[in-house]
Every structure is written in structure tokens, then in C-alpha cells.
Amino acid sequence: MKIYFKTFGCRTNIYDTQLMGEVVEEAGHRVVSSPEEADVVVVNSCTVTNFADRDVRRYLRKLRRELGNGVKIIFTGCGAYTRGEEFLQNGLADLVIGHQWKEELPQFLSKTGLHLGKLEFVNRKIVSHFSTSKAFLKIQEGCDFSCGFCIIPAVRGPARSIPMGQILEQVKEIVNYGVQEIVLTGINMGSYGKEWGIKLSDLVEKVVQIRGVKRVRLGSLEPTQIDPKLEELLEGGVLEKHLHIALQHTSDKMLRLMKRRNRVKETLPLFQRLAEKGVALGTDFIVGHPGESGEIWKEAMENFRKYPLTHIHIFRYSPRSGTPSATLPHRVPGDIARKRGEELKRVVEENNYRFRLKHQKTPLLVHIEKVDASGGAGYDQFFNRCWVPGEVGVGEWVEVSQYRVQKEGNYAEREE
């Protein structure tokens, strides 16, 4: 049987799709590169916003319109819990399976209907083959936070961790396969190990010690999940000297409306302390959440400029049905939210430029991810883009000591 996978959403979904691809190949099926050549199309969905649901629905309609009923559509991912039954009823999917059954996909290929399973499962299988210069590795599932704008706890379940031994064995397999950069990911990965009284930093400490691991990157963390051991590991040279710490906003009034746990008085000193240690810092920020008045925005920007942020993911608020935020009044017009996002972006771009100028005498270790006729491009230990001239290959590590700092990134000087 020929199977095509379409993935929407986060890094965890990317990992889950890799896992499903492996288990169907182990069962004797073939993964193909286009839906037109497939007998089965598996859609691994995202449902974080109503817009995400819309994008998935459009894709399913396109599949049915272009391929008709000649292809079997299996719908999975977070959207299975919010839209799965609807898509079954209107003929956009033939089978809907929950997260629990992703690693059992071969057993479901001949089935139809709705099979969600339990949200409290823990993965038993691991990905063992990788085709890129870096490998995403899921270390935990679910989230115990209850942010007002977020549906994810309802569709991913409570936070639970994959056993450390299983993760470490997979890291060794990844290295043996020839991949030297590991990206640890999860739904709320900073909660790793809560079942056993250990922390994320305990896992990271073990991972960076595995021979052959050259760089470890971490997904998004909450401010309360940064402990002294993790800060110490940033000095070791293997853990990327860049942390992505989710703030979502910098007005305490808005953070309360969002039902967030972080407050400026705790997070600002944390960010400033990390910046003094030379750590590049990223965050998530939601603009246009209901209640974001002009007064609140002014307060947020006054605080925001104090944060030494070098990277940012800006999200324009989109209501997610079934969340507390979706019921709040005082919606922010889209054009205002867009302008606020642009204001944030300008501040961070300038911060990033100044950061790179300040650290210009620091040698960069660039991991090449793309190449063309002029050379290669990749990311350094601060998660900044760097272009390297000359003959380089994907997956190669290049030490750069002389480079030009430009607004869009760094350019290595050509060696004579």
C-alpha cells in the first residue's frame, strides 16, 4: 500500500509523522512523495486556532475534489478531537484516529470510523531513521497549564514524560546514524520528569554527555522551568546558547486575562541575567488578545523594551472555540493587532543586530542546512543565520572567526 503524509502544525507533529512513516514502512508499506500516487493520505492536523482548522478543512476538500473517493483519507493529530467527527460525517475523512494510535497505524489502515483512544498514553516506539542534518526528538506529551487562549491541554492531555533511558538510547541511535544536532521537543517540554521528581536539566545533562552529540537545541520553555543547572549547561558548548522562553505578553494585566502564570517582576530579572551570560533569548508573544486596550499596550511596550530579546515568534490572536479567551469581550481590530506586531518585530530586530555586533569577536560554529552555487547557510550557536561562501555540504560544521554583521544575518569572510 502506498501512503502519503501531510503534516500541519508544530515540531511535535513533525516527529509524530516521522514515527508513523517508519511504522508503516516496517509493516511493508511504501511512503510516497505526493497524494496523487497514494492509496492512503494521512493528514496529521493542528487545531491550535480556528484558522488552523480552516487550513486543514481546505486541504481535505481539495483532496476530495481532486482525488475523489479513490484515495482513503485518515485524519489524525490534535484536530481529530475537535473536528474529527465532523469530517467523518461530511465525507472529508474515512478514518479518524487519536494520538494513541499513531504508532499502531498499520493496524488501522483497513478500518473506518472514529477511534480516538486515551489521551494519557506514553509513546512506546521511537524514530530510528533520519534524513535531515538535525533530528527532532519528542521527550514528553501534554500540558498541565490552563492558559485562557489555548485548546492544547484538551487535545493532548496532561503532561507526561517519555522515560529517560528510552530517550538516551534514541540519541545514541541518532548519532550512529550520522546526525549530530538534536532538537528536543514536546508540548510543554519544561515539565519533563515531573512524574519521577527530576527536571529537564537532568535529561539535558545526560544528552550533552553522549559522544557524537555536537549541538542540543531546546524547544519552547516556560519561565519557571529554567533552573540553575540548565543555566550552567549553557556554558558547556553543546547546549545551544539560545533559549526560547514563552512570555506571551509583557503586561501583567494582560497576563492575568490570559490566565498565564508568569509576571514581569519574575521574568525580567531572569532574562536580564541570562543575557549578561551571553545567551540569545527568544519568546512567543500574542498581540490582539481580547482586552488589549491602548493603555495595556503602552504598559506592555514599556516593559517589552527592557527585555533583551533577540528572537521572537509573534502571533496575532485568533479565537479558538472552546477556550475562555474566545468568550471575552473587547476584541482588538486586526489592523491594530498587525501594527502592534510590527512594533515588536522592529524592537527585536534591532536587539538582535546589536547582540551580533557585541559578540562579533566570538567564533561561530555554523551547522550548514542549505547549499547552493555560492556556498551554504545555517545557524550558529546563538540560533542566528550565517552564510558561508565556498564548497560546503549539508550537515557540515564550519567554524567561522571572521564575518560581517548585517541586518539579515552574518556573512563569513571568504578564506584565501
Q: What is the pLDDT of residues 58-109, one digit of tens each?
A: 999 999 999 988 899 999 999 999 999 999 999 999 999 999 999 999 999 9
Model pLDDT for residues 110-128, shown as the tens digit of each residue: 999 999 988 877 777 767 6
Give how far the C-alpha of residue 135 lies from the chain's centroid of Cα atoms, to the nearest Å. 13
Residue 131 has pLDDT above 80, yes or no: no
In residues, how long is the chain?
416
* Distance of alpha carbon 18 from alpha carbon 198, whole angstroms: 28
Contact predicate 7/38, CB 8 Å: no
* Distance of alpha carbon 148 from alpha carbon 135, whole angstroms: 32
* DSSP β-bridge partners for residue 141: 160
pLDDT confidence band for 141 (50 / 70 / 90): very high
Residue 406 has pLDDT above 80, yes or no: yes
- pTM exceeding 0.85: yes
> What's the pLDDT at 313?
96
What whole-number percentage of the chain has pLDDT above 70?
98
* DSSP β-bridge partners for residue 403: 412
Q: Which string of DSSP letters, residue by residue, matches 110-171?
A: T--EEE---TT-----------SSEEEEEEEE------TT--HHHHH-S-EE--HHHHHHHH
> What's the pLDDT at 70?
87
* Distance of alpha carbon 192 from alpha carbon 202, whole angstroms: 9
> What's the pLDDT at 69?
86
Residue 135 has pLDDT above 60, yes or no: yes
Model pLDDT for residues 7-22, shown as the tens digit of each residue: 998 888 888 998 999 9
